[in-house]
Structure 1
């Protein structure tokens, strides 16, 4: 009985080809969506961390300036802390405004400053207000003000929140569609094996004996589908990064690996669950109902 059952299962293998390809394509779509979501977050963080904060100095004492610079560099929010003298400030202004006001003014009116960039998690109105209060509280006599583009920070956070919410809704809807699509694909593949399942039951095979090889096959198929989806997604990511080198700069390898691992878990989990549920369904059905 066992040998004939296994032989029957081997003969049914071609039925799984379409389900493997179908599940792989659905997982690929979900992977692309997940990759877009991760990159939008990374792009938003890159924009936030490109906003320069300038602590304008009242003092010209080099020792005091060095102390202030070390203080800011030691804070958890600060990145790329640099001292900007009057000549450097003039060069930055000319570069950003594409003009040279030295032809009009004989004196450089720009103050010296300590410029730095804040980590993305600190680039919001409340956190920057706390940073300003901290610096002014510690060096209020040496710093006149902490300046940054406030309107840009506000707009950037508002747009990031809206885009994040939109993608979250899309991701949830797409995830539901993916789960339903994979479930239907697996059930369709199992439909062609309904008579095999019922025949094994009629000749005395136990439920566990019938379900085990099918569940193992579902696990293997899920792994194959996930591998195909990950390979295709990896190829698409490589192509996208070759076309847009900026994507390579903001790539988070850890999050990308988590995305790949999630595709494996989803592909295997739904495949095994749908297969096992289909087996139990056909075992409970009467023979006449299979037609």
Structure 2
């Protein structure tokens, strides 16, 4: 049996090498798509979190009531960031956009003070923003609550369509990846079919024959996953050097989860495909191997 082990190792090295390369390339493509999906989701969240709500303060309201309104806004669970805009700041913003300074013809500033805030991404939809407006309805310091309804509707429609397209593409490529990895492993095992059958003919049990090959499949799957991860990390750093702005989209938690899935997928499919191939050749007659 020791001779079989040595012969097996020598014969199978080339096919295992090609299997590792093939599985690595397929996992790399899957990981590249996963990285694109992660960035797309993060970009969608960033767009949603730029939705701004303006809470206009009533004229002649007391400083105490204005401070209470600011405190009220800061405590809301849907607020990501906020800023209190005084009447003078509102005038400067108005003039800064290219408009004439109305103070040359008016005795007082007609623009109201406001509390402008950006909502968290999960609240950037029409239903949630309507509830946000209702949350301010009973506040005596609030004159009006506004946000760009058309922007919110269009933004969510675009994100929904892009997410659907990415989902379909991801499912399709995931299925293709599983099939390609399975075919790659089965092709690698095809070159070992006579070795498997010979070991069976000299009395080796199925477990004895399959165990080293299954173990090797697990190792090869893990190696393939790590090689693919190295390629993805290289692509990420190269992309961030070329386009520094995408660094803001990096999500370490999702990237780590994707890397773990890549390794586990490589191990699982390699193991299942190898074990199935071994059992298949063990069940076949010798003449059918040719």
Q: Per-residue deviation at 1:103?
A: 6.5
What aligned pairs does 1:40-189 form with structure 2 within 5 A after superposition? 40-59=40-59, 60-95=61-96, 97=97, 99-102=98-101, 106-107=105-106, 108-137=109-138, 139=139, 141-189=140-188
Change (3 A) 1:260 1:92: farther
Tell me what 1:5 maps to: 4
Tell me what 2:252 maps to: 253
3-state SS, counterpart of residue 204 of structure 2? coil
Instruction: Check conservation: 2:126, 2:153, Cα contact below 8 A.
Output: yes
Change (3 A) 1:143 1:37: same
Q: Per-residue deviation at 1:104?
A: 8.1
Instruction: Check conservation: 2:16, 2:188, Cα contact below 8 A.
Output: yes
Question: How big is the alpha-carbon RMSD for the aligned residues of Structure 1 and Structure 2?
Answer: 1.4
Q: Distance in 2 between matches of 1:183 and 1:91?
A: 65
How high is the TM-score relative to the length of structure 2? 0.95
Q: Cα deviations across residues 247-272 of structure 1 (Å, max 9, x unaligned)?
A: 11121110111111111111111011
Q: Per-residue deviation at 1:239?
A: 1.2
Change (3 A) 1:290 1:84: same
Structure 1 stretches of 5 or more lacking a match? none
Q: Per-residue deviation at 1:80?
A: 1.5
Q: Distance in 1 between matches of 2:208 and 2:105?
A: 92
Instruction: Check conservation: 2:95, 2:101, Cα contact below 8 A.
Output: no
Instruction: Check conservation: 2:224, 2:266, Cα contact below 8 A.
Output: yes
Q: Distance in 2 between matches of 1:84 and 1:103?
A: 18
Q: Per-residue deviation at 1:105?
A: 5.6
Runs of 4+ in 1 over 4 A off after TM superposition: none
How high is the TM-score relative to the length of structure 1? 0.95
Q: Distance in 1 between matches of 2:220 and 2:63?
A: 68
3-state SS, counterpart of residue 75 of structure 1? coil
3-state SS, counterpart of residue 101 of structure 1? coil
Q: Per-residue deviation at 1:200?
A: 0.6
Q: Distance in 2 between matches of 1:24 and 1:94?
A: 58
Change (3 A) 1:85 1:204: same
Query: Aligned pair count?
Result: 286
Change (3 A) 1:152 1:199: same
3-state SS, counterpart of residue 34 of structure 1? helix
3-state SS, counterpart of residue 117 of structure 1? strand
Tell me what 1:17 maps to: 17
Structure 2 residue 209 is the aligned partner of structure 1 residue 210: yes
Q: Per-residue deviation at 1:94?
A: 4.3
Q: Per-residue deviation at 1:232?
A: 0.5
Tell me what 2:191 maps to: 192
Q: Distance in 1 between matches of 2:233 and 2:20?
A: 18
Q: Distance in 2 between matches of 1:105 and 1:35?
A: 55
Q: Per-residue deviation at 1:110?
A: 2.1
